[in-house]
């Protein structure tokens, strides 16, 4: 027995003692293969899953490394059966391979005949397969490359894809050398993606995922389709590419609700791509409109289902997913793995912070006690309405006003879920609001006024969760959100992580109603940030109102 910070259990859970001197070092060591499940004050619970282990394997970590980390940091002997299970699970990745054969085209290959026989007997595999070539090889219908990978993942035998990629239509793209240069981690991320052929790069919000995309484009030297969350994000991508590369305005097209331009580099929104006309996704033909050499999926954790379905059909194109977190609240992480590709690069948030590329952040949960009337209204509401009732109370609004007044000299984002709450908070704070119905030009105007400091406070809906560059935002006040979404929590903290010109830290407030589902959701939302090393301080709203709390 050693005095390590980990307790590794046979049910595949791992307990991390957060008060241990080696807790931070250990958290970074297990992050590539373990997922955080619960994060109370003193003991965090992680879980080992097949997908987590396969992602680690694809990123270059082998079973020996994983086992060594667990043994090195464990307080007690690691159960032998668990070590065997880790080795067996990780060995499953790559036992089946998709390859390009000079005579038979796309083939599924295995040097483990029993595994090949097992998967070929699956009813879901039968329609995807062509002729049996020999004991180790079977032909695959080329159009089914993505579907084969999806099915094999669900069968527990994830295939490694060595079938290669088409180069696509060539188009010269180079990075400008004056005024900036790629950071080391951005360069490594782009190179890891390129050597892997396709896959996902995970970097914190504000760490320059767009630069990784530009570097990948320079490696591809080909026409590129970039898929983004909204029109504001599309225009930010355009501005960055014009600033960082040799691309001209005429070479970059926007494909959105407002414009339908198809050019060598085309930036399209997920919204327009998933718009239906008479039951048909009319704009998905954009995928076939050019011989794309590279497809970039920004915020890949938000990829809509129709884009997944079409991505399954374009597996011969290089695909780069960019995200701050691979968490999907719909459980479709497996589809990201099989259709976009495995994780190729992942940098812990605190590591990037230590290098000075994102701002340090202090996370504060402010708990409010509802009035008797508010508590009664909540208690008697239908279960599906309870979160709305406790998330939109006047008690919360008064606290937000107090926090905003305290930070009157800072750049403050107030973030809420419900439109009537956003309207009310905007009026109470005398601040402009941005919500779904706000026209794109007005959004851009207000964001620019906020960047220059002419507007000190903005009240925003979830439209500001993603891909919005607001470097000087230093305070975020979260009033309500999408229930217990870890993904959203990470994105919202990311709005304030860009380094400040004067070196200030960021402050992320989450306003939570005590003794309600709001408190349960908050605990769930905070899990991802706890995994990245951010700790939430809890303060009482009464102490904020009285001025005795440290805020």
- Interatomic CA distance for residues 321 and 343, integer angstroms: 9
- The tokens describing 499, both together, are 């380094």
The backbone torsions φ and ψ at residue 303, rounded to the nearest 5 degrees and listed phi first, read -55, 125
Question: Helix H segments across 325-383?
Answer: 333-335, 349-354, 372-379
pLDDT band for position 484 (50/70/90)?
Answer: low
Looking at the predicted structure, is the pLDDT value of residue 7 above 90? yes
Structure tokens at 21: 């001197």
Beta strand 433-434 pairing with 294-298: unpaired
Instruction: Tell the residue number behind the tokens 């619960």, with chain if given.
Output: 38
Tens-digit pLDDT profile for residues 193-240: 999 999 999 988 888 999 999 999 999 999 999 999 888 889 999 999
Q: Please tell me the distance from the alpha carbon of residue 399 to that of residue 545, in angstroms, as a whole number.
A: 7
**Which ranges of 157-206 does DSSP label H, i.e. alpha helix?**
184-196
Transcribe 255-286 into DSSP letters: ESSS-B---SEEEEEHHHHT-EETTEEGGGGG
Residues of the chain with CATH 3.40.50.300: 184-352, 359-546
Distance between CA atoms of residues 113 and 111, nearest Å: 6
Asked whether the CA dihedral 248, 252, 257, 260 is positive or negative, the reply is positive
Residue with the larger pLDDT of the pair 247 and 229: 247
Task: Fill in the DSSP letter of residue 498.
Answer: S
Cα 38 off chain centre by: 19
Question: What is residue 338's predicted lDDT score, i.e. its pLDDT?
Answer: 92
Q: Between 231-244 and 209-220, two packed helices, what is the crossing angle to 10 degrees? A: 60
- Give the three-class secondary structure for 343: strand
Query: pLDDT tens-digit profile of 248-286?
Result: 999 999 998 888 999 999 999 988 888 888 777 878 888
Six token digits for residue 104: 């038979």
**Strands 294-298 and 318-323, bridge-based pairing:** parallel
Residues forming beta bridges with residue 108, ordered by sequence position: 98, 138
Q: Inform me whether the pLDDT recorded for 190 exceeds 90.
A: yes
Residue 464 structure tokens: 């500001």
Q: What's residue 312's pLDDT?
A: 87
- Beta-bridge partner residues of 345: 201
Long-range contacts, 22-26 (Cβ 8 Å, 24+)? 22/73, 24/350, 24/533, 26/73
For Cα atoms 410, 403, 547, give the angle at the middle one, nearest 5 degrees: 115
Q: Is the pLDDT of residue 90 over 90?
A: yes
Distance CA 491, CA 508 (A): 12
Helix (H, G, I), strand (E, B) or coil at 415: strand
Sign, CA dihedral 95-97-102-106, equals positive
Model confidence band, residue 56 (pLDDT cutoffs 50, 70, 90): very high
Sign of the C-alpha dihedral computed for residues 301, 302, 305 and 311 taken in this order:
negative
Angle at 510 between CA 509 and CA 514, to 5 degrees: 135
Q: Rounded to two decimals, what is the model's pTM? A: 0.84
φ, ψ of residue 161 to 5 degrees: the values are: -100, 105
Those residues with Cβ within 8 angstroms of residue 402's Cβ, 6 or more apart along the chain or in another chain: 544, 545
What is the average pLDDT score of the chain? 90
Report the pLDDT value the prediction gives residue 305, as an integer from 0 to 100.
82
Tokens of 251: 């070479």
Q: Do residues 464 and 422 touch, judged by C-beta distance below 8 A?
A: no
pLDDT the model gives residue 2: 66
pLDDT band at 137 (very low <50, low <70, confident <90, very high): very high
Q: Rounded to an integer, what is the distance from CA 545 to the centroid of its chain? A: 35
- Report the alpha-carbon distance of residue 397 to residue 391 in Å, rounded: 10
Q: How far apart are alpha carbons 451 and 493 in whole angstroms?
A: 17
How many whole angstroms separate alpha carbon 190 and alpha carbon 206? Answer: 17
User: Which residues are CB-neighbours of 169 under 8 A, at least 6 positions away?
Assistant: 222, 223, 264, 290, 291, 292, 293
% of residues, the chain, pLDDT over 90: 63
Sign of CA dihedral 239, 241, 246, 252: negative
Phi, psi of 22 (to 5 degrees): -95, 10
Q: Which CATH number fits domain 184-352: 3.40.50.720, 2.60.120.1440, 3.90.180.10, 3.40.50.300?
A: 3.40.50.300
Asked if 313 and 192 touch (Cβ cutoff 8 Å), the reply is no
Q: Are 283 and 275 in contact (CB under 8 A)?
A: yes
Q: Is the pLDDT assigned to residue 467 strictly greater than 60?
A: no
Residue 4: its pLDDT value, please? 93
CATH number of 359-546: 3.40.50.300
pLDDT the model gives residue 198 = 94
Rounded distance between C-alpha atoms, residue 400 and residue 396, angstroms: 6
CB 342 within 8 A of CB 199: yes
- CA 452, CA 471: separation in Å to the nearest integer? 10
- Looking at the DSSP bridge assignments, the partners of residue 161 are 98
In the chain, % of residues over pLDDT 70 = 97
Q: How confident is the model at residue 124 (pLDDT cuts 50, 70, 90)?
A: very high
Tell me the pLDDT tens digit for each residue of 345-393: 988 788 888 888 888 888 899 999 999 999 999 999 998 899 999 999 9
Kindly report, residue by residue over 511-525, the tens digit of the pLDDT.
999 999 999 888 888
């Amino acid at each position: 027995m050693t005095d390590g910070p980990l307790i590794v259990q046979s049910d595949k859970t791992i307990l991390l003692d957060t008060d241990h001197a080696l807790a931070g070092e250990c958290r970074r060591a297990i992050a590539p293969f373990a997922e955080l499940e619960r994060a109370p004050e003193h003991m965090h619970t992680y879980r080992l899953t097949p997908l987590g282990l396969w992602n680690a394997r694809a990123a270059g970590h082998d079973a020996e490394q994983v086992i060594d980390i667990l043994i090195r940091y464990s307080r007690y002997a690691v159960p032998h059966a668990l070590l065997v299970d880790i080795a067996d699970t990780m060995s499953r990745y790559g036992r089946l391979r998709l390859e390009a054969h000079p005579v038979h085209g796309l083939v599924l290959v295995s040097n483990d005949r029993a595994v090949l026989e097992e998967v070929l007997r699956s009813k879901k595999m039968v329609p995807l397969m062509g002729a049996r070539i020999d004991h180790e090889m079977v032909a695959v219908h080329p159009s089914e490359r993505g579907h084969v990978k999806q099915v094999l993942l669900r069968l527990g035998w994830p295939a490694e894809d060595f079938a290669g990629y088409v180069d696509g239509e060539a188009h010269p793209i180079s990075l400008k050398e004056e005024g900036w240069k790629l950071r080391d981690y951005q360069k490594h991320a782009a190179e890891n993606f390129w050597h892997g052929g396709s896959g996902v790069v995970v970097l914190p919000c504000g760490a320059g995922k767009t630069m990784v995309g530009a570097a990948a484009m320079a490696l591809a030297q080909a026409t590129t389709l970039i898929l983004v969350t909204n029109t504001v994000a599309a225009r930010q991508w355009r501005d960055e590419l014009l600033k960082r590369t040799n691309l001209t305005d005429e070479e970059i097209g926007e494909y959105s609700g407002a414009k339908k331009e198809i050019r060598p580099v085309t930036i399209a929104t997920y919204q327009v791509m998933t718009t239906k006309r008479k039951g048909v996704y009319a704009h998905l033909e954009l995928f076939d409109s050019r011989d794309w050499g590279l497809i970039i999926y920004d915020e890949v954790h938000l990829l809509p289902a129709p884009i997944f379905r079409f991505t399954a059909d374009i597996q011969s194109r290089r695909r780069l997913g960019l995200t701050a977190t691979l968490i999907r609240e719909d459980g479709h992480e497996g589809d990201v793995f099989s259709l976009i590709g495995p994780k190729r690069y992942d940098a812990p948030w605190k590591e990037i912070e230590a290098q000075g590329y994102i701002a340090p952040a202090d996370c504060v949960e402010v708990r409010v006690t509802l009035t008797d009337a508010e508590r009664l209204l909540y208690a008697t509401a239908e279960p599906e309405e309870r979160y709305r009732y406790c998330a939109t109370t006047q008690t919360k609004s008064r606290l937000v006003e107090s926090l905003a007044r305290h930070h009157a000299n800072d750049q403050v984002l107030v973030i809420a879920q419900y439109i009537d709450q956003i309207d009310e908070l905007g009026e109470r704070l005398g601040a402009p609001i941005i919500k779904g119905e706000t026209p794109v030009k007005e959004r851009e105007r207000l964001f620019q006024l906020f960047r220059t400091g002419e507007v000190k406070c903005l009240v925003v809906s979830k439209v500001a969760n993603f891909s919005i560059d607001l470097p000087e935002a230093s305070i975020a006040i979260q009033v309500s959100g999408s229930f217990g979404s870890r993904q959203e929590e990470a994105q919202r903290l990311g709005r304030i992580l860009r380094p400040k010109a004067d070196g200030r830290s960021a402050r992320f407030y989450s306003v939570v109603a005590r003794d309600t589902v709001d408190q349960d959701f908050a605990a769930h939302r905070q899990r991802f940030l706890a995994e990245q090393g951010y700790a939430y301080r809890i303060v009482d709203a009464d102490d904020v109102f009285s001025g005795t709390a440290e805020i």
